[in-house]
Structure formats: C-alpha cells, structure tokens
C-alpha cells in the first residue's frame, strides 16, 4: 500500500505527522509536502509493477497517501489521453506537439485529481465536512467527491459565477453560498465559516493532498512516454498545484530510478489581466506581489495571489523554463484552433496553452523538432459565455 511516512514544510523543512489532519506548516504557514519512503519503494517498484493495473490515477497508489484503498473515492479520475496533435502541430510548426486532455476527468477538469485525493484522505482521517472557496471547477470536483463519500460539502462562490459551475455543485447536494465579491472575498468567508463550524478547508495548497492528486499528471506523462520526459511542458497556471505537483513527481521518479535527471523546461502561462507569476519571474523575485483588479475570462487563471508562489517560481527557474502572459483574445483563438484542428473543445485555460506554444515557436524559444506537451485542463462546455465564432 502507501509508502507515505510524514509531511514536510516546503519552506522551513519542519516535519509534521501525516496520520492526523494537517493544513499549513504550524510554524511558518507555508504548504506541507507529503514524503514517502522512496528507498524502500525503489527496491520493489519498477515499470513492470504497473502492468495490468487499472488506467486511473490509482495505478500509482504506492506514491499516493491513502493508508487503505477502502476510503479511496473512485469516479474514474486520471488516465487521461495524451493526444498527438498532428494537424495543430503542422499549423504551429511543431512535429511533436502533444495535448494532455484533462477534460476527460470526472467533473470535466483536472481539479478532479486533486480533490479526489484531498477528499478521500480527509474521509480516511475522519473528517465529515469539507469547505472550499472557488469560482469554478474546484467547487464541482470537491462536491462530487464529497457526495460519493457521503460527506457534507460547503462551497463559497462569487455571485457572478457562470451558472453551470453553480448548478453542478447544487446537483451534488453541496451547500452553496453566493458571495458578493471576488474569489478573495469567498476565501475570507470560507475561512470564517470553517473556523466557526470546524469544517475542513481544502483550498489550494492549504492542505497537503491536492498536490498529490495533481502530481499524477507527471507520473502519467512519464509512463506514457516510456519513462522519458518531454522537452517542454506548457501549463496554464493559477494556484500552480499541477506545475509544482509534476515537478515533485519527477523528483520522486528520479529518486526511484525510473527516469534520468533530464527534465522538461516548465512554462507558466497566465492571462494578461492576471499575471502575478509572470511579473515576478520577469522582476527576478522569489515571491509574487498580489495582482490588483484581476480580470480574465479564464477563471482558473484568475488567482491574484498564490500561496505556492515561491514554489512555482523556483520550479520554472530550476527547469530553465519561462513565464508568459497571453491576452483573452489570443487564448480564445487558441481554443478555437484546438477545437477545429483536433476535435478537442477546450476550456479558455487550455486555449491559453495553445496561444503560448504559438508565441514560443514564433520567437524560437521552442525548436520545431522538440517534444512539447500542452495541457488542456478542462472542458469548454461549462463556459456558455465564451464565443469562438468569428475568430479567425
């Protein structure tokens, strides 16, 4: 089963017990990371171990935190396709453009991976009620997993959230509170309610296990590519869990002897109307200042201040990557191109990665023969207000 040993602070390295519910580091309030006994696992784990296992993220269960699979809530998460985008690649001038299509997850986005693990582990540790502030996919994913676990879900959303995101939570039986204000105001309201009622808050990186769920994207990429990694990974970044999680997966696979030390260049893509990581990257800072008046149609990228800012920036720099911002117009065009060339109707965040690939190929930062993985993080079907008609 699991090789989880303890949790470790990503900043001050304090060690914390993993067998009781934990949120941030008790000393410095930074994210906690799950640590495994990789030396022991390395002795028994090899590519053969995975043969014949189900094609969901649970195929990597030794590297996941569940003590027992009896509390694992399974809706078919992970195991998403890695599509060779031949037609779009040709348009953009790339031979090996791959799309990791996360829209095929339960609830239509990769948020299912993180919340599957956060909710399953909370359930295993005896928690009965979970709460989240969210302007989009995270709320639906948490509500679905809580429903399947028989747990109570509390969601705080901005009043102007697109209807599909809200109806979905209500259908799963979540208790939805509409907040007059932005996601920051929802965060404050959720925090207050969590403290008042002793609900467990599963906000991005404020508990350790969403990261473990998102990490499985990195494990899948490595396995799908025959235990070699691509040259470049393009990731639409809000809170950055997927980016930080994939880097953690690569560290663990290298420690296990499954991959070499050759890593992809990690690219952070944000929207011009909310690009705190891009600004910090360009300024050479280790942390990001909060973005004022954040605005973009890509709700998953509307994160003015990320708890894991220093981890995102460290990963991009260590990998030799870059952080770039694209306009809402360009990301909408990217959405259109991905749909028309490849039959993948992406969310606006997925469109942003296509816009980024185009820019980086045009400037020569990506070479035509390089293997590039671009993430489509969710389905386009939940954004009825986004129009792609008339876009060239």
Ligand X SMILES: *Cc1c(COP(=O)(O)O)cnc(C)c1O
Q: Which residues of this chain interact with ligand X, rule CB under 6 A?
A: 109, 111, 136-137, 204, 236-242, 300, 347, 349, 377-378
Write phi, then psi, for 358 (nearest 5 degrees).
-55, -50
Q: Does residue 120 contact residue 88 with C-beta atoms inside 8 Å?
A: no
Q: Which is nearer to ligand X, 242 or 321 (CB)?
A: 242
Residue nearest to ligand X (CB): 300
Min. distance of Cβ 311 from ligand X in angstroms? 11
Between CA 106 and CA 111 the distance in angstroms is 9
State the pairing for strand pair 4-9/15-16. antiparallel
Report residue 93 as tokens.
Answer: 């001038």
Rounded to a whole number of angstroms, the minimum distance from the CB of residue 112 to ligand X is: 10
**CB-nearer residue toward ligand X: 105 or 120:** 105
Helix or strand holding residue 258 (H, E): none
Residue 241 beta carbon to ligand X: minimum distance, rounded to whole angstroms: 4
Closest CB to ligand X among residues 347, 360:
347
Q: Give the nearest distance from C-beta 48 to ligand X in angstroms.
A: 31
Which is nearer to ligand X, 333 or 352 (by Cβ)? 352
* Tokens read off for 122: 């909370």
Could you tell me where the beta strands, DSSP code E, fall in the chain? 4-9, 15-16, 32-36, 82-84, 96-101, 129-133, 152-158, 175-179, 200-201, 232-236, 265-271, 322-326, 371-376
Least distance CB 77 / ligand X (angstroms): 14
Packing angle of the helix pair 209-224, 241-255 (nearest 10 deg):
60
Q: Which residues have C-beta within 8 Å of that of residue 321, sequence separation ≥ 6?
A: 232, 264, 265, 266, 267, 268, 315
Q: Phi first, then psi: what are they for 278, rounded to 5°?
A: -65, -45
Q: 158 or 239: whose CB is closer to ligand X?
A: 239
- Find the distance separating the first CA and the last CA of the chain, reported in whole Å: 51
Smaller CB separation from ligand X, 169 or 256: 169
**Minimum gap (Å) between residue 375 Cβ and ligand X:** 8
Residue 274: strand pairing partners? 271
Task: CB nearer to ligand X: give 265 or 382.
Answer: 382
Closest listed residue to residue 278, CA positions, set 269, 266, 290, 287: 269
Q: Cβ of residue 240: shortest distance to ligand X, in angstroms?
A: 5
Find the shortest distance in angstroms from Cβ 197 to ligand X: 25
C-beta closer to ligand X: residue 187 or 239: 239
Instruction: Outline where DSSP puts E strands in 66-221.
Output: 82-84, 96-101, 129-133, 152-158, 175-179, 200-201
Helix (H, G, I), strand (E, B) or coil at 245: helix
User: Between 347 and 374, whose beta carbon lies closer to ligand X?
Assistant: 347
> 125, 151 in Cβ contact below 8 A?
no
Q: How far is the CB of 145 from ligand X (least distance, A)?
A: 15
Q: How far apart are CA 347 and CA 284, in angstroms?
A: 30
Nearest to ligand X of 89, 238 (CB atom): 238
Nearest-angstrom CA–CA distance, 26 and 386:
42
What is the closest distance, in whole angstroms, from the C-beta atom of residue 42 to ligand X in the complex? 28
Report the alpha-carbon distance of residue 345 to residue 347 in Å, rounded: 7
């Amino acid at each position: 089963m699991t090789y989880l040993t303890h949790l470790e602070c990503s900043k001050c390295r304090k060690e914390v017990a993993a067998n009781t519910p934990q949120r941030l580091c008790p000393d410095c309030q930074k994210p906690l990371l799950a640590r495994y006994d990789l030396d022991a696992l390395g002795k028994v784990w090899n590519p053969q171990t995975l043969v014949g296992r189900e094609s969901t993220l649970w195929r990597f269960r030794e590297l996941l935190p569940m003590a027992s699979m009896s509390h694992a809530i399974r809706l078919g998460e992970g195991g998403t396709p890695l599509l060779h985008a031949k037609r779009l690649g040709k348009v953009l001038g790339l031979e090996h453009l791959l799309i990791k299509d996360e829209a095929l997850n339960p609830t239509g986005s990769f948020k299912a991976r993180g919340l599957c693990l956060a909710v399953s582990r909370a359930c295993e540790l005896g928690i009965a009620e979970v709460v989240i502030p969210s302007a989009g996919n995270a709320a639906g994913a948490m509500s679905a997993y809580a429903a399947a676990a028989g747990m109570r879900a509390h969601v705080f959303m901005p009043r102007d959230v697109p209807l599909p995101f809200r109806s979905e939570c209500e259908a799963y039986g979540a208790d939805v509170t509409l907040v007059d204000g932005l996601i920051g105001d929802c965060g404050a309201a959720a925090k207050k309610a969590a403290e008042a009622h002793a609900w467990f808050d599963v906000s991005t990186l404020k508990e350790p296990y969403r990261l473990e769920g998102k990490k499985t994207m990195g494990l899948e990429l490595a396995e799908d590519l025959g235990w070699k990694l691509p040259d470049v990974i393009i990731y639409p970044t809000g809170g950055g869990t997927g980016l930080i999680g994939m880097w953690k997966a690569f560290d663990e696979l290298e420690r296990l002897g499954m991959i070499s030390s050759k890593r992809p260049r990690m690219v952070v893509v944000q929207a011009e109307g909310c690009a705190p990581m891009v600004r910090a990257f360009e300024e050479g800072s280790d942390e990001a200042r909060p973005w004022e008046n954040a605005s973009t149609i890509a709700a998953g990228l509307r994160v003015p201040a990320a708890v894991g800012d220093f981890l995102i920036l460290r990963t991009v720099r260590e990998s030799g990557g870059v952080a770039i911002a694209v306009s809402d117009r360009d990301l909408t065009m990217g959405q259109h191109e991905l749909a028309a060339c490849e039959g993948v109707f992406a969310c606006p965040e997925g469109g942003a990665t296509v816009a980024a690939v185009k820019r980086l190929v045009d400037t020569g930062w990506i070479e035509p023969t390089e293997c590039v993985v671009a993430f489509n993080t969710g389905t386009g079907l939940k954004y009825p207000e986004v129009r792609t008609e008339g876009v060239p």
